[in-house]
Amino acid sequence: MTNDTPQELNPDQEIERLIDQVMSSSLTDEQYRKKMQRRKEVQDKRIAEAVTEKGLIIVNTGNGKGKTTAALGMVLRSLGHGYKVAIIQFIKGGWEPSEKRVFSYWEDQIEFHAMGEGFTWETQDRDRDLDKASAAWEKSLEYIRNPDFHLVLLDEINIALKMSYLEVEDVLAGLAQKPANKHVILTGRGAPAALIERADLVTEMTLVKHPFRDQGVKAQPGIEY
């Protein structure tokens, strides 16, 4: 049987173990200092060995709220660094999002295309939804291939995949055409397994409570739109 020594733990496991240990109230000040010093050594080593830069495929999925919101935080950071960004909305679009108005202040850096016509239960026209999703994907490919754009957000594309408006094989083939340093974010619940497997960063938002489901509270400005 092996011992749980630092040499036998990977960095994540060792950091987790050190966190558990420093939470113990029985540690002396000196023991606490040594534990935190070791944690810093592990973290510094990981950072030193990390790859300097890589274009990421990022998936925000799950039934919880905040998938697009988290992606827009990355958009804002990219704009702050002076990068060019493209946003393509696959499902939303029947209403004018406040984000689009805000991002108009960076109109020289951002391209925003709301190419859906609203949620699927609003359109009630599968053929038109298919056409809109196809057009949105073709527009997405333009930006995915364009080296001038540092970040591309494909908002609610996972819904289009889940509804079979797009084929996951086509999307994966398109993502393979991106320049090496470009980041692409794909949002929406129900991300297919093949996309999750291909992605570099996957976050699943878990629904615990929601004001509409639990209290009948409608979407509110500044919160949902």
Catalytic annotation present for 65:
yes
Token couple for 80: 């702050």
Q: What is the pLDDT of residue 54?
A: 92
Catalytic annotation present for 132:
no
Q: What is the pLDDT of residue 47?
A: 83
Counting as low any pLDDT under 50, the low residues of the chain are 1-6, 94, 121
Catalytic annotation present for 41:
no
Q: What is the pLDDT of residue 17?
A: 79
Catalytic annotation present for 121:
yes
The active-site residue, picked from 17, 65, 139, 189, is 65
- pLDDT tens sequence across 145-169: 999 999 999 999 999 999 999 999 9
Q: What is the pLDDT of residue 117?
A: 62
> How far apart (Å, rounded) are the C-alpha atoms in residues 150 and 140?
13
The active-site residue, picked from 35, 67, 92, 162, is 67
Task: Identify which of 155, 147, 181, 172 has the alpha carbon closest to the alpha carbon of residue 71.
Answer: 155
Q: What is the pLDDT of residue 118?
A: 54
Catalytic annotation present for 67:
yes
Catalytic annotation present for 142:
no
Catalytic annotation present for 69:
yes
The active-site residue, picked from 10, 30, 49, 121, is 121
Q: What is the pLDDT of residue 11?
A: 76
Residue 166 identity: L
Catalytic annotation present for 106:
no
> How far apart (Å, rounded) are the C-alpha atoms in residues 9 and 109?
44
The active-site residue, picked from 156, 158, 178, 187, is 156
Q: Which residue has the tokens 């944690």?
A: 39
Collapse the DSSP code of 88 into the 3-class scheme (helix H, G, I; strand E, B; otherwise coil) and give the result: strand
> How far apart (Å, rounded) are the C-alpha atoms in residues 93 and 81?
27
The active-site residue, picked from 60, 61, 68, 187, is 68
Q: What is the pLDDT of residue 96?
A: 60
Q: What is the pTM of this model?
A: 0.80
Catalytic annotation present for 77:
yes
The active-site residue, picked from 17, 34, 69, 146, is 69
The active-site residue, picked from 119, 142, 145, 189, is 119
CB atoms under 10 Å from CB of 153, counted, come to 27
